[in-house]
Structure 1
Amino acid sequence: MTSTPPLHVTGHLAPVADEIDGIDLPVQGAIPPELVGRYLRNGPNPLPGEPSAHWFTGHGMVHGVRLRHGRAEWYRNRWVRTRALAGESLVRADGTIDHGVGHANTHVIEHAGRIMALVESSFPYVLTPELDTVGTCDFDGRLTTAMTAHPKTDPVTGELHFFGYGMRPPYLTYHRLSAGGELVESAEIEVPGPTMMHDFAITDRHAVFLDLPMTFQLERLGRGMPYGWDDRYGARIGVMPLDRPGTVRWFDVEPNYVFHVGNAHTDAAGRVVLDAARYAAADAVAMWDGLGTDPAGLAADAAATGSARLHRWVLDPATGAVTESPLDDRAVEFPTVDDERVGREARYRYAVADSRGRAGIVKFDAAHGTRAEHDLGSDAVAGEAVFVPSGAPDRTEDDGWLLSITTRRDGSASQLLVLDATDVAGPPVAAVELPRGVPSGFHGSWIDDADLAPR
């Protein structure tokens, strides 16, 4: 008797069984010579033969493409050599969490010359530029909580703001790294219970926390992810002045869930403007229930439940007033922004769409309320689109490129797509043929060679 494998281990989500290297990769079009560095992307990848109860719980595997002098010099993929990969459990015998164990499967970033693979349940794992694993990092013993997979770098100060959440108190803790990579501040944030806070935002003077009704539920422990929707918990957004860590003004909002923030800024009136991919309450329940069977539903058909759409909250710390409004009706996920505009007003957002059997990469223009889409058709799906600036001293905000790994729906082949961000709907600038089908995963970064230079 055979059983049908779950969808998150089939097709474009199917894990790969080995680590490979490819050199001098074929390129359609022309890679911009300004792109000198590595595109790295993380995602879950169970070991061969290993049961996988949920898409979110596979071991971290980083896929990388090295670009230099207009060439794609190499592709390689490597499992992050975590203690979980070696068979250790995240949960100790006494029920506490060992933050040195997690799967490191969600994001990969660079800060202060250090490449880190991230997952929100544990410490970061440090990688070499060739994707070998160095080991965990707790910032000289100063980090005592998990680290979110979605830290935010202030483009002016170079500081890295992040948080950790847990199933036991402290439920939420804010942290700040200096531009040099030293943990210089930590502050507990009071929340009512163990909420699953996947992302947050910063402005030039605030941190913005999402205290939403997806909470830890003990009865779900055996189902892959021990979190679920809780109507009783409520929904609120917290605004914390960066110069007063731990002091938060909370704003009650309509019940919803947010995996991923687009951006935030403080406007001229001192109000915090937050944009994110928002699941309304019914959509959040449908999405969460569907993740165990159909993880592709993260950017599902716009006519169906289970989808997120770009949404805006305007929060006034002076009066306590909050307004909520949709920005677009397109079903999207994985919103991104130019890293040089993080925490500042930004005209453009980029996101991934997949509905009615067609996938694409979408560009939203907040100034004109319009969108443009690079249509991938019905045979391929897109990964998160990472913006890389052109480097021109007088560039416009969208002067640069979008990088995304696209994969055929049957998982048979992948490309690293390079789009002109000023003309997203146009043909690709370049498409690098990768030597294997790369499973659709989570988040990644462009890491310029200059970011890894000795300091």
Structure 2
Amino acid sequence: MTNRRRGTEPGALGGARGAVRRTGIPVIDAETVAAYGLPGHLRSVPDEIDAHDLPVTGALPPELDGRYIRNGPNLLPGMSGGHMQTGPGMLHGVRLRGGRAEWYRNRWVRTGVFEGRSLVRPDGTIDLTAPSANTHVVHHAGRVFALVEVGLPQEVTPDLATVGPCDFGGRLTTAMTAHPKQDPATGDLHFFGYGMRPPFLTYHRLDARGDLVHSREVAVPAGTMTHDFAITEHYVVWLDLPMTFQPALAGRGMPYGWDDAYGARLGVMRHDRPDAPVQWFEIDPCFVFHVANAHEDAGRIVLDAVRYSPGEFAALWELLSRAVEPPSPSAPAVGRARLHRWTLDPARGTAREEPLDDRAVEYPTLDDDRTGRPARHVYAVTGTEPLSRDECAIVKYDTAAGTAVSCPLGPATMIGEAVFVPAGGPRDEDGGWLVAIATTRDGTASRLLVLDAADLPAGPVAAVDLPRGVPTGFHGSWIPAPEEGRT
């Protein structure tokens, strides 16, 4: 699609013209790259680089003053095995200021696995400092953390250098989810850790200063893969779904499998009462990787999330769990998930389920100022399923009107998660920008796209040419200048 008024063409991605400096990590050889057998946009990059004064098409909003940082797995040179989801984490960052793209840089997150240590100690316990921090990057109380759900948070600098694992003064003794939720009213950061052995699920809360002030075990029958959760003004919403730890699968690297006998349920728990009970609601079997939001409505709890049916999830998990190997050219896309709503009524003990859309989407986002509160707008992306040949697009949902609009990006482009950046001053809920990295399907070039969230179909207002193809990754964050630390 070409937007003549804006002057950008998101389907045509060019390389940056700025000077590039490499940091000395050896370049991977072509034979090893080919051995990964991944589609071009998923292939790892071979090194760390810096580039400055990046070319911009269109006009960057001058109020965008900060860093966009995105995380994702990136195999080290010489790694020809492994899984699509488990390579060492790599952060890609772009610094925007005064209508300019000052720099791009990428850095591996140097965890224990990066340094060659094993996840499992000789006594059989898990080294929580070792896992690849490859899933998300968040900022809280002046610190930036790279996250993966099976390890401790890894602190990094705003310039992407690894500081090291963080256990908040020894208080955090479990892993930390890659999807913490910050309460916009209190500034508290709510999160959890799950494990293969008891305690299977533990709730934690950091206060606005970054101190871990509360932890408690949440009783569940078994170790389940709990990727995300939700908060409202007063509640935590748990997803206890039938992906259980199965020791027989340990050799595959991702030892969780579908368990029909486990069932599926959602739980609500007051987070303002230290020992509040959890009220559980049985739901139809499904799996959820990513929550859009939750809120309270006249005594009910409303949860919006991207739902996989058992069949779609089983096909997706089979693909994600096997070792990296060349996919069949005729292999169908798998793992189509759809935006779904559950309405939980604690007074009646009932759960109502309903689909909100029939298109396949993932990576739902929203204005973080609406986390846990009613939110009219949710953003998501299409065409992200592994091996998908569908045209990618960014979708904007109006949950009040029950409508959606989209920005197609052309058949040659893959798109990552679209992060909402609020505009300054008084604004409507969609007053702000969507920022995302787009990469050609062959992986040769990437752009950072900036779209007006209030006018999504108009296409990008600006595109920053990046100095390399950036692999399609997982999650990212916008870190505004007053919160980013040193520059």
The TM-score, its normalising length taken from structure 2, stands at 0.88
Question: Deviation string for 1:305-355 (max 9, x for gaps)?
Answer: 621100000011122111000000010000011100000000000011016
Question: Deviation string for 1:1-40 (max 9, x for gaps)?
Answer: x997455x44100000100001000000010000000000
CA distance in 2: counterparts of 1:253 and 1:365, whole angstroms? 25
CA distance in 2: counterparts of 1:325 and 1:392, whole angstroms? 36
User: C-alpha displacement at 1:112, in angstroms?
Assistant: 0.2
Q: Which residue of 1 aligns with 2:392?
A: 359
1:252 aligns with 2:282: yes
1:452 aligns with 2:481: no
Instruction: Using CA pairs under 8 Å that are at least 6 residues apart, name the structure with larger relative contact order, 1 or 2.
Output: 2
Q: Which residue of 2 aligns with 1:309?
A: 338
CA distance in 2: counterparts of 1:19 and 1:305, whole angstroms? 32
Partners of 1:53 and 1:223 within 8 A in 2: no
Q: Which residue of 1 aligns with 2:436?
A: 404
User: C-alpha displacement at 1:229, in angstroms?
Assistant: 0.9
From 205, 208, 211, give the equivalent of 1:182.
211
Q: Which residue of 1 aligns with 2:363?
A: 334
For 1:181-330, list aligned pairs within 5 A: 181-246=210-275, 247-267=277-297, 269-292=298-321, 306-330=335-359
Q: Which residue of 2 aligns with 1:29?
A: 58
Task: Report % sequence identity.
Answer: 63
For 1:342-353, list aligned pairs within 5 A: 342-353=371-382
**Using a 3 Å threshold, how does the CA distance of structure 1 residues 453 and 17 change in structure 2: closer, same or farther?**
closer
User: C-alpha displacement at 1:287, in angstroms?
Assistant: 1.5
User: C-alpha displacement at 1:294, in angstroms?
Assistant: 11
Partners of 1:41 and 1:108 within 8 A in 2: yes
Partners of 1:408 and 1:437 within 8 A in 2: yes
Q: Which residue of 1 aligns with 2:145?
A: 116
CA distance in 2: counterparts of 1:304 and 1:209, whole angstroms? 29
Stretch deviating more after TM superposition (412-421 or 276-285): 276-285
The amino acid of 1:154's aligned partner reads D
Q: Which residue of 2 aligns with 1:390?
A: 423
Partners of 1:6 and 1:293 within 8 A in 2: no
User: C-alpha displacement at 1:216, in angstroms?
Assistant: 1.2
User: C-alpha displacement at 1:422, in angstroms?
Assistant: 0.7
Partners of 2:87 and 2:132 within 8 A in 1: yes
1:136 aligns with 2:165: yes
CA distance in 2: counterparts of 1:89 and 1:97, whole angstroms? 9
CA distance in 1: counterparts of 2:323 and 2:406, whole angstroms? 24
CA distance in 2: counterparts of 1:147 and 1:200, whole angstroms? 12
User: C-alpha displacement at 1:356, in angstroms?
Assistant: 4.9
**Using a 3 Å threshold, how does the CA distance of structure 1 residues 89 and 166 change in structure 2: closer, same or farther?**
same
CA distance in 1: counterparts of 2:274 and 2:120, whole angstroms? 30
Question: Deviation string for 1:112-146 (max 9, x for gaps)?
Answer: 00000000011111111111111110000000000
The amino acid of 1:193's aligned partner reads A
**Using a 3 Å threshold, how does the CA distance of structure 1 residues 13 and 305 change in structure 2: closer, same or farther?**
closer
For 1:67-86, list aligned pairs within 5 A: 67-86=96-115
CA distance in 2: counterparts of 1:52 and 1:231, whole angstroms? 30
1:417 aligns with 2:449: yes
Question: Deviation string for 1:265-294 (max 9, x for gaps)?
Answer: 011x21110000000111111121122469
Matched residue SS, 1:55: coil
Q: CA RMSD in A?
A: 1.7
CA distance in 1: counterparts of 2:199 and 2:484, whole angstroms? 34
1:20 aligns with 2:20: no
- How many aligned positions are there? 443
For 1:46-85, list aligned pairs within 5 A: 46-85=75-114
Matched residue SS, 1:12: helix
Q: Which residue of 2 aligns with 1:298?
A: none
User: C-alpha displacement at 1:357, in angstroms?
Assistant: 2.5
Matched residue SS, 1:367: coil
Question: Deviation string for 1:70-93 (max 9, x for gaps)?
Answer: 000000000011111001111112
Partners of 2:36 and 2:43 within 8 A in 1: no
User: C-alpha displacement at 1:108, in angstroms?
Assistant: 0.3
User: C-alpha displacement at 1:245, in angstroms?
Assistant: 3.9
CA distance in 2: counterparts of 1:245 and 1:166, whole angstroms? 21
The amino acid of 2:449's aligned partner reads L
CA distance in 2: counterparts of 1:421 and 1:59, whole angstroms? 32
Matched residue SS, 2:308: strand
User: C-alpha displacement at 1:452, in angstroms?
Assistant: 2.9
**Using a 3 Å threshold, how does the CA distance of structure 1 residues 5 and 232 change in structure 2: closer, same or farther?**
farther
Partners of 1:282 and 1:305 within 8 A in 2: no
CA distance in 2: counterparts of 1:357 and 1:204, whole angstroms? 38
CA distance in 1: counterparts of 2:80 and 2:231, whole angstroms? 38
For 1:38-49, list aligned pairs within 5 A: 38-49=67-78
CA distance in 1: counterparts of 2:470 and 2:393, whole angstroms? 17
Matched residue SS, 2:483: helix
From 106, 116, 120, give the equivalent of 1:91.
120
1:434 aligns with 2:463: no
CA distance in 1: counterparts of 2:442 and 2:88, whole angstroms? 22
**Using a 3 Å threshold, how does the CA distance of structure 1 residues 93 and 294 change in structure 2: closer, same or farther?**
closer
**Using a 3 Å threshold, how does the CA distance of structure 1 residues 292 and 6 change in structure 2: closer, same or farther?**
farther
The amino acid of 2:166's aligned partner reads C
1:374 aligns with 2:407: yes
User: C-alpha displacement at 1:434, in angstroms?
Assistant: 0.1
